[in-house]
Structure 1
C-alpha cells in the first residue's frame, strides 16, 4: 500500500488549500483529489445529504483508486460524516478537518478570537463540543458566513472574476463588521480562525478589512502533519524518490466545470490543465 495514493475530497476547490499543505509536507506521496463541485456548497445542505456524498466519494476512491488514506478536506463533511466514514472503513487512516481553535489560542495575546465558517460547520454538534471544551481558555466570537464559500468557488471562472472578487470583499466586510473590533488592543480580536477550507483563498481580501496585525489561522498544516503521523504509524509512507514535477503525483477530478478546477489548480498549486479530469458522473 505504500505506493498507493492518498485520497482527498472537498465540496469544491476549497480543499486545494489542504492539498497544498499535504504536497509540501509529503513530497514523495501521490494524491487523488475529488472536487464535488456539482453538489457545492456542502455548508448550506443537510447532514444526511453530506453523509451520502461523503460515503459515495470514499467508496469510489477506495475501489477505483485504491487509496491508502483519506483526507476529508471539508469542515462541513468532517462534522457531518467523519464518524460514519470511520465506522464504514475502520482500517483506513482517516483525517478530518475542524476549525483550528486550539492553535488560535496558542497564538492569541488578547484571548479574544474570531471564528468564521459555514452554517453547517458552526451549527454542528462536533463544533459545539469543541467550542465548549475551550470556553475557559479564550473568548470566541463565532460568525456563519452564508454565501462566502460559493462566491469563492465561483471566483475561479475568469469571465466573472472581477465581479466575484467584489462580492467576496463585500461579504467579508459585512461578516467581519458584525463580529466587532479586530486588532491587538485589549478586548479586540487579534486572531481569526478560517473555519472553511475555501476561505484560505480569500486571505488577501480579508487583510483589507482586518489589517496586517490580525493573525489568520487555517487547518492545512495541522492536517498534513496528522496525515504524516498516521502513515508513519501504519508504515505506509512512500519512500521512493519524489517526482520532479508535482503534476506527476497529482490527479484532480471534478463533477463540476472542468475549466474552473483547471483554473484553480493552476492559480493555487501551479498545476497544468492536464492534471485535472472530469469525474465519474455516476458517483
Structure 2
C-alpha cells in the first residue's frame, strides 16, 4: 500500500489507525526513511491530564490494547490514574455500515459507558479512529459534563506541522479528495459519503494487493 501511495506522488503518509500504527509504523519508517509518516496513538496522556476524578475510560480495539506501544503509553502517562478499557466490540461494524449514531449503536454503547460512569470515569479517550463517528451517541449517553477526547484534531495539526517542517505544505485552496481501497469500491464510496458527507473529486481507485 505504501509503495502504491508513493507511486501516486504522495508527499506524506498518515497511518490514522491505532492498531496499524502500533503494528507497522516503526517498520515503515525504517523501510522508507525519506518519507514523512504520521501515526496515531491513544490519547492517554491528555486523558490523564484532563481527568478530575482520576479515572479515564479508553475505548479502543483489542489490537491496540494488546500492543507494546499502548503498554508503553500506560507506563509513561497513566501511572497516577485508573484506566478502564473497553473495545466496544461490534461498534466498528456498525459505523462502517452507516449506523454510527443509530439505535443499534445506542444499545451497544449504553451499558458499556454507563458501567464506566458508575466507576467514576469523567474523561473518555476515543482510542479508535472509527469511534469519533459515534461521538453524538457517546455524548448522548455520558452527558455534557464528561470530557471526550477525539484524536482527529491532533492528527491534523501534526500533519500540518510535519509538512511545514519538510517545506511540503501547499498554499491555496486547490485541494482535491481522492480515495483508493483494497476492498469493494462501491461499498467504500458509500461509506465515505455516509461518514464524512463529502463527494470525491475523482473516482475510487482499487489497490491490487500482490503477496
Q: Shared topology, TM-score over 0.5?
A: yes
Instruction: Answer with 212-221 or 272-281: which moved more.
Output: 272-281
**Residue matched to 2:78:** 135
1:3-14 aligned within 5 A: none
Tell me what 2:196 maps to. 269
CA apart distance, 1:203: 0.9
- Give the Å deviation of 1:201: 0.5
Q: Could you tell me which of 146, 149, 155 is aligned with 1:223? A: 155
- C-alpha distance in 2 between matches for 1:145 and 1:77: 18
Structure 1: where are the runs of 5+ without partners?
A: 1-56, 156-160, 183-187
- What does 1:175-214 correspond to in 2, within 5 Å? 175-181=112-118, 188-214=120-146
Alignment partner of 1:84 out of 27, 31, 43: 27
Structure 1 range deviating more: 208-217 or 254-263: 254-263
SS of residue paired to 1:140: strand
Is 1:58 equivalent to 2:2 in the alignment? yes
User: Do 1:261 and 1:276's aligned partners in 2 also have CA atoms closer than 8 Å?
Assistant: no
Partner of 2:208: 281
Equivalent residue, structure 1, for 2:46: 103
Q: Deviations over 1:6-50 (max 9, x none)?
A: xxxxxxxxxxxxxxxxxxxxxxxxxxxxxxxxxxxxxxxxxxxxx
How far the C-alpha of 1:59 sits from its partner, in A, is 1.4
Structure 1 position 276, deviation (Å)? 4.5
TM-score, scaled relative to structure 2: 0.88
How far, CA to CA, are the matches of 1:231 and 1:90 in structure 2?
16
Specify whether residues 229 and 70 from structure 1 end up closer, same or farther in structure 2 by C-alpha distance, changes over 3 A only: same
Structure 2 counterpart of 1:258: 185
Give secondary structure in 1 for the equivalent of 2:179.
strand
Bigger relative contact order, structure 1 or 2 (CA pairs below 8 A, ≥6 apart): 1
Which residue of the other structure, out of 242, 253, 274, is the alignment partner of 2:173? 242
The CA distance in 2 between the partners of 1:273 and 1:143, in whole Å, is 34
Residue 167 of structure 1 and its aligned partner are, at CA, apart by 2.6
Displacement of 1:258: 3.2
Alignment of 1:137-176 (within 5 A): 137-155=80-98, 161=99, 165-176=102-113
Deviation per CA, 1:208-266, whole angstroms, max 9, x where unpaired?
Answer: 32122111112111111111222222222123x212xxxx5110122333344333433
**Aligned-residue offset at 1:275:** 4.1
TM-score between both structures, scaled by the size of structure 1: 0.68
* Distance across 2 between alignment mates of 1:178 and 1:136: 22
Q: Structure 2, unaligned stretches of length 5 or more?
A: none
Change (3 A) 1:278 1:166: farther
Q: 1:45 matched to which residue of 2?
A: none
For residues 82-137 of structure 1, the C-alpha deviation after alignment (integer angstroms, 9 at most, x for no partner) is: 11111111111111011111122232222211001100001111101101112334
SS of 1:250's partner is: coil
Cα distance between partner residues in 1 of 2:40 and 2:10: 19
